Chains A and B, each alone.
Chain A
Amino acid sequence: MEKILRRKEFGVLMVLFALIVFFSIVSPQFLQAKNFFNITKQIATVGIVSVGFTFVLITGGIDLSVGYQISLDIVVVAVLMRTFGVPWFLACIIGIILGIIIGLINGMIIVKSHVAPLIVTLSMMTILKGLSYLITNGLAIFKFDKSFVALGQETIGGVIPISLLFFVAIIIIGGFILNKTVYGRYFYAIGNNVEAAKLSGVNVERVQLLAYGLCGFFTSIGAILMLARLNSAQSSTGDGYEFNSLTACVVGGVSANGGKGTIAGAIIGCLIVGVLQNGLAIMNINEYIQEVIKGVVLLIAVVYDTLSLLRNEKIKKIKTINADN
């Protein structure tokens, strides 16, 4: 089993490698250390969000509201600091609690109403968007405490960005939850076969709720790091992050159909998306063409994901027919 998983991630790693080689050839700036740290800074937020997103996808769900969760989180934290003079540390904690609550509301509606997660979180996305614009009136909030901004902009020893440390810590925590805890195992069980999981005594509702809650938690941390990096809060900031996270996860082998995927895969997916974005920007490719490329990448990844699932199922069906007869 580990061999197969490794092989799958190995394939994705090859794609990443090919992209790096390609951009290095077409653009000499690409392969500089400075640009590498630039990429990690850029993908820190999407990477952290993708950890939570991976949990939700593995349970067989999806959370399209993560983009505007980011917007609302940063706007609320910004207002707390600038308008109400709340110390940045406390403001961040409130921001994180807000993220968890939004995730739990998503989860609650999904497990209690059985409405498709896609619809629930799409509605939530629009609600959060509206709330965020209501707070800012469309204006930017900026100039924050220096020690807060340092989280997103400073480096340790002039080399390693602080945000990279956060990113790595979150990856480790995410991997730990998924691989070492009871709940990680339950995520896979529910995503693979919710009936069998229920009949094995798994409290499906509680576990799904947890996945959405964790997604909100990680998203809010990503949001705070982004606010610190940009030193400016705008309601439009989070737009498209749901798309980037979904693309990163699926490209990295986290199945949009549930039950499969790893944190490592999702992070490699993030790197691919990050390298692609960075490389295209360095090459001065038209912004709209970049959008088209991003869309095509997600489409290819999702189609590949579903086709390989169907292929397996077909093989399985043939096998069971033979076994039954």
Chain B
Amino acid sequence: MVGDTILKLNHISKLYPGVTALNNICMEFREGEIHAIVGENGAGKSTMIKTISGAIEPTQGTIEILGEIFNKLSPKISRQKGVAVIYQEFTLIPVLSAAENIFMGEFLMNGIVLDNKEMGKKASELFERLQVKIDPKTKVADLTTGFQQIVEIAKAISKKAKILIMDEPSAPLTITEVEVMYNIIDTLKEQGVTIIYISHRLEEIFRLSDRVTIIRDGCYVTTLNTKDTNKQEVIKYMVGRELTESYPERTNKAAETVMNVHNLTGNGVKSISFNLKRGEILGMGGLVGAGRTELAQLIFGSEKIVSGEIIYKGKALTVKNCEQSINAGISMIPEDRKRHGVILDMTIKDNITMPSLKRISKRNVINQKKEIEVTKLYQNSLEIKTPSIFQYVKNLSGGNQQKVVLAKWLARNPDIIIFDEPTRGIDVGAKQEIYQIMNNLANEGKAIIMISSDMEELIGMSDRIVVLNKGRMTGILEKKDISQENILLKAVGAN
């Protein structure tokens, strides 16, 4: 079935100021193949897809679709040439029927009214082609996630897609739904559609794909025939990165256990158990969507625990909201700094003192002198670079904003600090400063949990690493066992 080259990337590069997202990528896709693309978090998979779908213009290079060469594509041209993308988030409108969703934007008309009959008929034909039974009149809201995705696929092929790009399609699906989706993909392949399949899950890739391409740090690594390779080899190519950055040395040893997590379940994670010691940095690894942030939210008390318990300082921790967990001595530096970490339109001072406002007040009247003292103390100790503490946080760089988030928690003198992606979007110099601060905190006897998708950072900073996969804990690595291979093996659930 697999035929000639249908899509070719010629020396594609995408440069952003200071970052090379894609570096001289050359590869080709053949007609009627299922071509998997794998890579670590941030390897450049999404950027590559977006150049094909026309959402991003490459800085250099050309894209060749069916022999036609383009310097850049627009979403419209890309669609016309037969490229369709199914994103992780569905684009369906729940209150409309399956048929209406499929023809959204290009409704079939009968004069000035919608031709529901014709659309229903055409939708039925599409579903038949996919060998599934869905009533075109059903509202999308009444379909399961699996069937919603099938509607999404039907929508894509209704536009005569020759190349179907699927970005982590199995992520929201149950096991049985995944099987149905596999069958549909096989059916489409038999009909000559090229599938570009992006996934973290190696077992899927070995189940589905004809060829697999590995990319790393924005570079093309290699393309393998799936049947001639194995998981170990793929992982070896994924991690072949050299650890270049240096991490500050830390001398202290972890002390007594401060928190025990037993069978914690809720918010999308299941049966998680580990302990956390004073003076250690406990890393949390896993691929995007593995449930690390969700686990952190449970520990921080911003989401509800369904079952299991947390023993904290020898007692069961029962908190109803963040206010209580903060008072208990737990703090969290969230992943999305601008939305959850700081209040952009308030001053540095207001942000830093927010969690400790009641402590520097008497009968709810703020002691403004003390407030300024506290702010200046942390401005100096964390070296927040700003002309004034009355500056709005939105005017600070990413690194300084992150220091403001740090300062607001340090002012509460917590026992446990959860860092969720502590250095995302921060420049190299500020990164080193944040690492040094984290080390100092560990040396002072604080317990630190660090979630990171940056493999180097995870390995360089952590004493131990908890690895999650699909909401479950797949292992905990002691210092001596920490390696890229071991983390990735557990992160993809390969053993």
Residues in B neighbouring A183, C-beta threshold 8 A: 364
Report B242-285 CB contacts with A as 1/0, cut-off 8 Å: 00000000000000000000000000000000000000000000
**A286 interface contact, C-beta 8 A:** no
* Residue contact B302 to A182, C-beta cutoff 8 Å: no
The stretch that binds A, out of B79-87, B223-231, B346-354, is B346-354
CA distance A174 to B367 in the complex (A): 18
- Given A180-B366, A196-B343, verify A325-B354 contact (CB < 8 Å): no
Instruction: Among B323, B343, B345, B397, point to the contact of A201 (Cβ < 8 A).
Output: B323
0/1 interface trace, chain B 363-388, chain A, CB 8 Å (1 if under) = 01110100000000000000000000
The minimal Cβ–Cβ distance linking A65 to chain B, given in whole angstroms, is: 27
Which residues of chain B come closer than 8 Å to A200, judged between CB atoms? 322, 326, 354-355, 408
Please give, as numbers and ranges, the residues of chain B lying within 8 Å of A181 by CB-CB distance: 361, 364-366
Q: Which residue of A lies closest to B357 (CB)?
A: A182
Bound CA–CA A199/B366 (angstroms): 20
Interface residues in B313-336 (C-beta closer than 8 Å to A): 321-323, 326-327, 332, 334
The answer, yes or no, to whether B342 is at the interface (CB within 8 Å) is yes
Distance from A209 Cβ to chain B, minimum over Cβ atoms (Å): 15
CA distance A193 to B339 in the complex (A): 7
Main secondary structure, interface of A, reads helix
Interface pair A188/B322, CB less than 8 Å apart? no
Q: Which A-chain residue is minimally distant from B408 (CB atoms)? A: A200
Q: Are B321 and A203 in contact (CB under 8 A)?
A: yes
Q: Is the CB of A182 within 8 A of B391?
A: no
Task: Compute how far the CA of A109 lies from the CA of B327 in the bound complex, rounded to whole angstroms.
Answer: 28
Distance A138 CA – B490 CA, assembled complex (angstroms)? 76
CA distance A162 to B478 in the complex (A): 76
Whether A145 sits at the interface, judged by CB under 8 Å, is: no
A316 at the interface (CB under 8 A from B): yes
| Chain B residues with CB under 8 A of A289 | none
Pick the residue among B302, B321, B392 that contacts A1 (CB under 8 A): B392
Contact, CB under 8 Å: B343 / A198: no
Cα A202 to Cα B350 in complex, Å, equals 13
Q: Please state if A185 and B357 are interface contacts (CB–CB under 8 Å).
A: yes
Q: Is B322 touching A201 in the complex (CB atoms < 8 A)?
A: yes
- Complex Cα distance, B17 from A63, in Å, reads 47
Mark interface residues in A258-291 (1 if CB within 8 Å of B CB, else 0): 0110000000000000000000000000000000
Chain B residue nearest to A259 in the complex (CB): B345
Q: Are A195 and B327 in contact (CB under 8 A)?
A: no
B293-321 Cβ-contact flags toward A at 8 Å (1 or 0): 00000001010000000000000000001
Alpha-carbon distance between A2 and B340 when the two chains are bound, in angstroms: 25
> Does B323 contact A202, Cβ atoms closer than 8 Å?
yes
Per-residue CB proximity of A1-43 to B under 8 Å, as 1/0?
A: 1100000000000000000000000000000000000000000
**Cα A1 to Cα B392 with chains together (Å):** 7
Q: Of A2, A185, A200, A316, which is in contact with the most chain B CB atoms at under 10 Å from its CB?
A: A200
Q: How many angstroms from the CA of A198 to the CA of B300 in the assembled complex?
A: 12
Contact between A323 and B332, CB atoms less than 8 A apart: no
Taking the complex as formed, is B241 at the interface, i.e. its CB lies under 8 A from any CB of chain A? no
- CB-CB nearest in chain B for A184: B366
Q: By the criterion CB–CB under 8 Å, are B355 and A188 in contact?
A: no
- Chain A residues near B172 (CB-CB < 8 A): none
Known interface pairs A182-B357, A185-B366. Does A195 touch B344 (Cβ–Cβ under 8 Å)? no
Across the interface, name the chain A residue whose C-beta is closest to B338: A320
A322 near B323 with CB under 8 A, answer: no
Q: Is A192 at the interface (CB under 8 A from chain B)?
A: yes
Q: Contact at A195–B358, with CB atoms within 8 Å?
A: no
Q: Say if the beta carbon of A122 comes within 8 Å of chain B.
A: no
**A172-208 interface (Cβ within 8 A of B):** 180-183, 185-186, 188-189, 192-193, 195-203
B390 proximal to A (CB < 8 A): yes
Q: Is the CB of A260 within 8 A of B425?
A: no
Q: Is B19 at the interface (CB under 8 A from chain A)?
A: yes
In the complex, chain A residues whose CB is within 8 Å of the CB of B321:
198, 203
Q: Are A324 and B366 neighbours in the complex by a CB distance under 8 Å?
A: no
Closest B-chain residue to A3, C-beta based? B390
Chain A residue contacts of B347, Cβ below 8 A: 1
B contact residues around A185 at 8 Å (CB): 350, 354, 357, 366
A193 to B327, CA, bound (A): 21
One of B338, B354, B361 near A189 (C-beta < 8 A): B354
CB distance from B359 to the nearest CB of A (A): 10
The answer to whether A201 and B327 touch (CB under 8 A), given A181-B365, A316-B394, A322-B17, is yes
List of A residues within 8 angstroms of B75 by Cβ: none
A17 CA to B354 CA in the complex, in Å?
38
- Asked if B341 lies at the interface with its beta carbon under 8 angstroms from chain A, I say yes
Which residues from chain A contact B17 at a C-beta distance below 8 Å?
Answer: 322, 325
Q: Are B327 and A323 in contact (CB under 8 A)?
A: no
Given A188-B350, A199-B340, A200-B408, also A182-B322 (CB < 8 A): no
Q: What is the bound-complex CA distance between A198 and B368, given in angstroms?
A: 23
Known contacts A1-B390, A189-B343; is-contact A182 B408 (Cβ 8 Å): no
- From known contacts A180-B366, A181-B364, A325-B17, infer whether A197 and B345 are also in contact, taking CB-CB under 8 Å: no
> 8 more A-B contacts (CB under 8 A) besides A192-B346, A195-B339?
A185-B350, A196-B339, A196-B340, A197-B343, A198-B302, A200-B354, A200-B355, A203-B321
What are 5 contact pairs spanning A and B, CB under 8 A?
A: A192-B343, A200-B322, A201-B327, A203-B323, A323-B425
- Chain A residues proximal to chain B, CB less than 8 Å: 1-2, 180-183, 185-186, 188-189, 192-193, 195-203, 259-260, 316, 320, 322-325
**What 9 A-B pairs come out closest when comparing CB atoms?**
A325-B16, A201-B326, A201-B323, A200-B354, A193-B343, A182-B364, A200-B355, A192-B343, A201-B355
